Homo-oligomer: A and B are copies of this chain.
Amino acid sequence: MGMQVEDERTLSARNQDASRAGGRGRRPRRDREATERRILKAARDLFGEHGYDGVTVREIAALAEANVALVNRYFGSKAALFGDVLAGESVIRGVIAGDPAGLPRRLAEHFVRQIDQGPATAMSRMLDRSAGQPEVKEILLRYLEDVIVQPMIEQLDGPDARARALLASTIIMGGGPVRRLFGLDDLRAADPAEVTDRLTAMFTAALAPPVRHRA
């Protein structure tokens, strides 16, 4: 059943026979691509768990079972690697996309889903605890802008769309620290349907166009 799985580790002779069909036949002997992939995956897991500052390149290399020097050799620097990881993360993108009317509920369900999934969701923990160096702040800001704030704004009618999107972002970004610090037990103890309803109302309050009067 697992025949076709691209097992990224341990196999050394497997990837040799997979010679590129159409292109030039050049294939890495010791599979640099696979190593890069392992490093990237390790970085995604660790950054997602502990944030940028909470992870060392040595830890990344160890988890990837690669040499420390390769991290910098292949990705340039720790910050650049962080940027690459961020570029690959786009779960929330799909959550925001859709019909504007259902946006608050989709965000709420996403939030609750993160509670159910436990503390293993990668993205959320990257948002907090990751702005040590100014360079990283830059990378993080660009990501949040492109993936969360701007897509939201495009769905919003009425004035102050950006301010409203930022209010909703407050809930999104606050979820990480709260889950990480206080744990998940207390949130799980509550009825998921009701938590979803509450969060929907919270997001609605942040995002809904101003109600002048009932028109």
Contacts and interface: CB of A to CB of B under 8 A. Distances in A.
Interface of A: 53-54, 127-129, 131-132, 137, 140-141, 144-145, 149, 159-160, 162-164, 166-167, 169-175, 177-178, 180-182, 186-187, 189-191, 194-195, 198-199, 201-202, 204-206, 210
Contacts of A128: 128-129, 177
B163 A170 contact: no
A57 to B, nearest CB: 17
Leading 10 A-B pairs by shortest Cβ distance = A174-B174, A201-B205, A163-B190, A170-B174, A160-B190, A173-B174, A202-B205, A162-B186, A202-B202, A128-B128
Copy number in this complex? 2
Contacts of A145: 182
A199 B171 CA distance: 11
B206 A132 contact: no
Contacts of A137: 181
Contacts of A187: 163, 166
15 contacts: A127-B177, A128-B128, A137-B181, A140-B181, A141-B182, A144-B182, A160-B191, A163-B195, A164-B190, A166-B186, A169-B182, A170-B171, A172-B174, A198-B205, A201-B201
B163 A186 contact: yes
A132 B166 contact: no
A177 B54 CA distance: 17
Contacts of A191: 160
Contacts of A171: 170-171, 174, 202
